[in-house]
Structure 1
Amino acid sequence: MEKHTEKAKTQIQQEPWTQQQLLEPKELAQVLQSSEDSLVIISLGAGGIIPGSRDTGPSGEKEGLNTLKKELERLPKDSDIVIYCGCCPFDICPNVRPAFALLNEMNFTSHQLLNLRDNIKVDWIDKGYPVGN
């Protein structure tokens, strides 16, 4: 029994985010409707589908991760940041983990990952949430 618990803890600890750092799409859509200006939304590969998001390119690739780093260097460490990709199912996305790990390494204190379990189409567009910049 203890081995099973340890294995579960190890699997959970492999993700660079906590459960509290996952933001549900519905919550972000509500924030966008209330015109929250201070929120920084960064697209990591889905092409800036969410209004107001900054597209830094695929962070699973060195060039995209460097672009993200340059973007983050301009921001205060306490900026409210939401990152998302949505190119593919969340559990195999090559972009969200390197990007979130970078935010952690750079000591940001208020960052979240948009919880797009399937992809941007299923979890955002098909639900009627706002699109376009």
Structure 2
Amino acid sequence: MGVRKRERAEGIKEANKKVAFAKLNNCPSSPRKMRLVADLVRGQKVERALSLLRFSSKEASRKLEKLLLSAINNWEQKNEGGDVSAAGLFVKEIRVDGGMMLKRLRPAPQGRAHRIRKRSNHVTVVLGQADNTQSNS
């Protein structure tokens, strides 16, 4: 491996140390309902995001809270037990994509059938570490 390629790879590894993620696939709720909750925590600090999810009355917030805790745990494992509150973690990116759809039939009048689509979603949470080295220029 050449010098430039090695330096680039080391730079990418160093940047990835500040980022941790967690994924939840085929969560059995519609993407629209999950996006309502995801929009609440996007860009928030981790402590604030957890409290928002904990006291939200929506069902999707329970699943998202568990996923956020998993992402925090992944960050701790990557950084050998680093302190979360001192690191300044925040929700850098949260993405909700449509998952597979279960297609069912419901009886309708006059011998017809209506299709029911039971939706699911995929959620990806990316945590970033706040840079404390920013200058005020």
* TM-score normalised per structure 1: 0.32
Higher normalized strand content (fraction of residues): 2
Larger RCO (CA within 8 A; separation ≥ 6) = 2
Higher-Rg structure is 2
